[in-house]
Amino acid sequence: MFENLSSKLEAVFKKLRGHGKLTEENIQEALKEVRMSLLEADVNFKVVKDFIQTVQQRAIGQEVVGSLTPAQQLIKVVQEELTALMGGEGQGIHLSGSPPVPIMLVGLHGSGKTTTAGKLARYFQEKKKRPYLIPADVYRPAAIEQLQKLGQELGVDFYRPQASQTPLDISLKGREEALRKGYDLIIIDTAGRLHIDEALMLELREMKNQIKPKEVLFVADAMTGQDAVNIAKHFNERLGVDGVILTKMDGDARGGAALSIQAVTQKPIKFIGVGEKLDALEIFHPDRMVSRILGMGDVLTLIEKAEAAVDEKKAKELEKKIRKDSFTLEDFKDQLQQIRKMGSLESLLGMIPGLPRKMAGLGEAMVDEKELTRVEAIINSMTPRERTNYQIINGSRRLRIANGSGTTVQEVNQLLKRYAEGRKMMKRFAGMEKKGLGKGRGAFFS
C-alpha cells in the first residue's frame, strides 16, 4: 500500500537534503512535487489544496527556514500534517453499554462487509470478548451462508434466520438470542446495493433507529479510490456513520481513499483490511501509517504482530535449545510458521526503519513467499530422525526428500546448508552470552 506515493515522496525529500540551506523557492518547488505526488495517488483535490497550503504556511516561516536542519524540519512538518489529515490518533471501537453491544456494518455491494464481519469477530475473540454474528443481508445470494461459514470456521455463534424474516426482524431476534445466550456484542452484516438508492437508506435508517447500534461502520473498498470517499460522504449525510473500515488496503498501491476519507467525512478510519485471511485486520493508526509512507518504518506494529504470533512457552524452549546447541529442523519449521503468522514478508520489511524502499519493494526478489512454502514442504518430507539429526541426510535421503516435497535435490542442499550456517551463528551468539559479551543482545533470545 502507498507504494507509488512513498517512492515519489522519498525522491522529493532526497533532493531537499542535498541543499544545505533551504530557500522559499526550494520549499515551493518541493511542495509542488509533493502536491503532484498526492494527486497522482488519487487524493481528493480539495484535500490536497488545503494540505499544501497548511504545510507551506508552516514551512516558509522560521519553523523551517530558520532551522539548523531545514530539510529534516520540513519532513517533520509534512509528517505532522499528513498524520492530522488522516485523523491524528488511532481510534478503536467503543463497546461501552449493556451487552450485547450492537455493531452495524453498512456499505455498497462488493465492499467486503461479510468478510469484514468475520474479521471483526476474530479481532474481538483475540480481545477475550464473545461476539455473535447476525446475517441481515437477505438479498445477496448465499450472503447468509457465507457469514455462517465464517462463524463455524472461527467457532463464533451466529443467528439462523427464517426465510420469511426481514432484515429488521433478523436483527431484533438476533439481538434477543445474543442477550439470552450472554454474548458481549453483536455484529450485524447488512445488505448493500451496486449504488446508493432510497430503498437501501430507508431500510438501514429503520434498522439503526430500532437497534440503536453503538457503532455504525461504513465498509469501503480502498481500491475504488475517490469513489469510496464520495460514497462514504453520502452514507454519512443520509444515515450517519461513526467510522470507516477500508478493505483491500494491501492491494491499493496509491492510497488516495485512506488519505482523503477522514478530511472529507470527518469520520475516522477505525480498521484497515490488509489481506484475505481472517486475521488480516489492523487498527488504523494514522501516525504509524505516515511513518510507513515516509519510509520511516513502523516498529510498534511490527512488535505487536510479533507479540501476537510468538508463543511465549515455545520461545523459552527455543532459547534453551539455542544455548544447548540443540536447535533442530523441526524448531526451524516452527519459527518459520510463527514468522508467517505475522503477515507477508514484504509488509514486514516495510515496517523496518531505515530499510531502503527499493529493498522493501523487492519483497519477491529478496525472499520469495513461495520459497517459504517449499522449505516447509522439504522439512515435512523428512523423517523425525532426520529433522533431529540433519547430518545423517546422505545422497539417497536427499533424493527421497526432494521427490516427496516436489522440489529438487539442489533446493534440499541449499536448505541444509543455510540451516547449518544458522546453527553456527546461534552457537556463536550463545557463546558470547556465556562470556558476558552479548550485553544488549538479550532480544535475540526472546
d(CA 93, CA 378): 43
What architecture is the 3-85 domain classified under in CATH?
Up-down Bundle (1.20)
Query: What are the mean pLDDT values of the chain's consecutive 10-residue runs (446 residues total)?
Result: 76 73 78 88 88 84 59 80 83 83 90 91 91 90 89 92 89 93 93 81 91 92 84 89 88 74 88 86 85 64 55 64 72 72 59 48 51 84 88 91 90 86 69 49 34
d(CA 201, CA 369): 43
CB 372 within 8 A of CB 341: no
d(CA 162, CA 271): 32
Phi and psi of 219, rounded to 5°? -100, 125
Looking up cell 447468509 gives 144
* CATH 1.20.120.140 boundaries in the chain: 3-85
Q: What is the pLDDT of residues 261-319, one digit of tens each?
A: 888 888 899 998 888 888 888 888 888 888 777 766 544 555 555 555 555 666 666 66
Q: Nearest-5° angle of CA 226, CA 10, CA 352?
A: 95
pTM: 0.68
- Superfamily holding 101-296: P-loop containing nucleotide triphosphate hydrolases (3.40.50.300)
Q: What is the pLDDT of residues 29-58, one digit of tens each?
A: 888 888 888 888 888 888 889 989 888 888
CB 157 within 8 A of CB 183: yes
* CATH 1.10.260.30 boundaries in the chain: 309-445
* CATH 3.40.50.300 boundaries in the chain: 101-296
Region at 143 (left for phi over 0; alpha for psi -120 to 50; beta for the rest): alpha
- Superfamily holding 309-445: Signal recognition particle, SRP54 subunit, M-domain (1.10.260.30)
